[in-house]
Structure 1
Amino acid sequence: MSDPQLTTAMPGLAGVTHRWLDVRGLLMHVVEAGSGEPVLLLHGFPQNWWEWHGVIPRLAEQYHVIAVDQRGAGWTDAPRVGYDARSLVEDIVLLIEELDLGRVRIIAHDWGAIVAQLLALDRPDLVEALVVLSCPDLHVRPDASILRLVPKIWFDVPLATAGVGVWAMAWGKQRIVRMLLKHFEPPRGLSGADIGLYLARLRDPGRARAGSALYRDFILPAFMRLVAGRYADEPFAVPVLVMIGENDPSAALQRMGYRSGLPARTFVEVLPGEGHFIVDHRPDVVAQRAADFFRTEKNGA
């Protein structure tokens, strides 16, 4: 098998530095830019740090920005194990400690936003504020209308199935993953170059195996816990901004609401005309709204 570090050329972005950190034996790739108070960026599936290439330069004007390739993604190691919630959250906790960041602001997308929310629940001492993108607040209480979402998220099951998921991600025309990168999107979609970059990383069998394990051990179990209301009575102790495109299935989940209304210090914004990949489509809006939110919360307004 080829070395996964060498299978795809690293995309270039001016003004950033790259380094690999040994986090309890996991070699994690991080990208850094700017200076000041830290902002940590966590990507979604099937993306990697490059998801943030439009956001990083904008935030780096005010902050020390750290974009990380999470376990199994991008240019971080892809071991066979460790794709459960506890391990994925612990990866980020140990990374924060390794970088000596103290309390951080976090912007997270898709499954990265689930990791970030669990981190905020478990270790609020490490989180200054959190921006959740394209993912519902874990505290929503789904109702029977959730059944209408099943035809829109059918791909979760084959991707999570051992063997089938690896084949779908790595081999053939990678049709399911290609579909994911265009699903629920405005007509323009993602750029062909970006889609090619994400697909190329998944052609490495180890990364395809990691992606399937991620769905099987983390994404689907987290979804089932949300449906069961397991998080509903564990409020955040940190301020949270949720931003979702109106065409994203997560928006339907978010609209189902909360047991006792919108929690204190939690804010929700739905972006008209947008889909799941709002970081790619509107990096200007994501960066500006996040910076405004961080500034407002710091000033106690």
Structure 2
Amino acid sequence: MASGIAVHRAQLRDGPVLPYAEAGRPEGTPVVLVHGYADSWWTFEPLLRRLPSSLHAYAPTQRGHGDADKPADGYRPEDLAVDLVAFMDAVGIDRAVLVGGSSGGVQARVVAGRYPDRVAGLVLLGVPAELADKPAVKEVWETVRDLTDPVDRSFAEGFSAGLTAEPVGRGFLETVVDESLKAPARVWRETLRALLETDLRATLAGILVPTLVVWGDQDPLLTREDQQVILGAVPDSRLIVYEGVGHVPYWERPERVAGDIADFVRGLDGSTTT
């Protein structure tokens, strides 16, 4: 376990138990990190170790993933958004900056649009505007729809390794793969099905909080045009492009991401409270 990171469990009201990692000073600005498809809180471990202690960071593992409870249903983006608000209630966060990684940014922006009083700012790290129009995602679905338990490790390894432009630490990547394999085949299938069937562009509506968009120009899934859709839909948004970086900037450039998040939080006018 990395120094300065504690892991706890949160019982959501009328919902599952979610493990979550926590770092930073208790009096710091609350920041909630929201992981993406087939991931867990571990995806943010390099970032959690680099965020300044002035930020009180929480990284929950979502239902069905990692060591979280795995109910039979509830894997649509709107379901995961409800869980996210319930998580904030469970750990005593009134208002936070939400940081969504990959598809985790979808449920983060749903919360920002539907519960504006709970969100001080939004950071989207390699987050799609849409997914159903992406050929690479459709190729993944062709495999995922036929997955059976146990999920094949070679598939999970290829899925994770193909997201970056540069190699990341082997031990870290093995942990990410181990975590992804804790999700049963039905969770891989139903979560991706829901992402493909949901009108993701509609989830950009109503977001009025300051929003930072981070995109790597070597992203194998998302184009700059896709990110422009987000910028066009969210009034108070701006884009930072990471050159030479793939889909998961918080794996490849965690120190830079930590700095950009800290700068963004410092620039917010509103207050966040725990």
TM-score, normalised to structure 1's length? Answer: 0.80
What are the equivalent positions in structure 2 for 1:258-297 lying under 5 Å apart? 261=232, 263-297=234-268
Does the residue aligned with 1:268 lie in a helix, a strand or coil? strand
- Pick from 67, 86, 93 the counterpart of residue 78 of structure 2: 86
What are the equivalent positions in structure 2 for 1:227-246 lying under 5 Å apart? 229-231=201-203, 234-246=205-217
- Pick from 1, 6, 9 the counterpart of residue 20 of structure 1: 9
Q: Give the structure 2 partner of residue 192 of structure 1.
A: 170
What are the equivalent positions in structure 2 for 1:56-135 lying under 5 Å apart? 56-135=48-127
Does the residue aligned with 1:181 lie in a helix, a strand or coil? helix
Q: Would the aligned equivalents of 1:156 and 1:220 in 2 still touch at CA under 8 Å? A: no
Instruction: Report how far residue 261 of structure 1 moved.
Output: 4.6
Deviations 1:219-264 (A, max 9, x none): 2123xx14xx5356x2311111110111223234425547x95743
Q: Give the structure 1 partner of residue 158 of structure 2.
A: 179
In our comparison, the structure showing a higher alpha carbon Rg is 1
Of residues 15-24 and 92-101 in structure 1, the stretch that sits farther from structure 2 once superposed is 15-24
Distance of 1:137 and 1:60 partners within structure 2: 29
Distance of 1:124 and 1:299 partners within structure 2: 12
Change (3 A) 1:160 1:173: closer
Distance of 1:88 and 1:253 partners within structure 2: 26
Q: CA RMSD in A?
A: 2.5
Unaligned segments of structure 1, at least 5 residues: 1-11
Change (3 A) 1:299 1:157: closer
Q: Would the aligned equivalents of 2:215 and 2:242 in 1 still touch at CA under 8 Å? A: yes
- Pick from 187, 190, 193 the counterpart of residue 216 of structure 1: 193
TM-score, normalised to structure 2's length? Answer: 0.87
Q: Would the aligned equivalents of 2:212 and 2:237 in 1 still touch at CA under 8 Å? A: yes
Moved over 6 A (4+): none
Identity among equivalent pairs (%): 24
Change (3 A) 1:256 1:64: closer
Does the residue aligned with 1:53 lie in a helix, a strand or coil? helix
Distance of 1:86 and 1:156 partners within structure 2: 22
The answer as to 2:193 corresponding to 1:201 is no
Deviations 1:69-102 (A, max 9, x none): 1111122112221102222111011111111211
Instruction: Report how far residue 155 of structure 1 moved.
Output: 3.1
Instruction: Report how far residue 293 of structure 1 moved.
Output: 1.0
Q: Give the structure 2 partner of residue 45 of structure 1.
A: 37
Q: Give the structure 2 partner of residue 158 of structure 1.
A: 142
Does the residue aligned with 2:267 lie in a helix, a strand or coil? helix
Instruction: Report how far residue 267 of structure 1 moved.
Output: 0.7
Change (3 A) 1:262 1:270: farther
Change (3 A) 1:71 1:173: closer
Matched to 2:189, the amino acid is S
Q: Would the aligned equivalents of 1:184 and 1:247 in 2 still touch at CA under 8 Å? A: no
Change (3 A) 1:263 1:17: closer
Q: Would the aligned equivalents of 2:40 and 2:179 in 1 still touch at CA under 8 Å? A: no
Q: Would the aligned equivalents of 1:159 and 1:215 in 2 still touch at CA under 8 Å? A: no
Distance of 1:193 and 1:40 partners within structure 2: 25
Count of residues in correspondence between the two structures: 267
Distance of 1:43 and 1:247 partners within structure 2: 20
Unaligned segments of structure 2, at least 5 residues: none
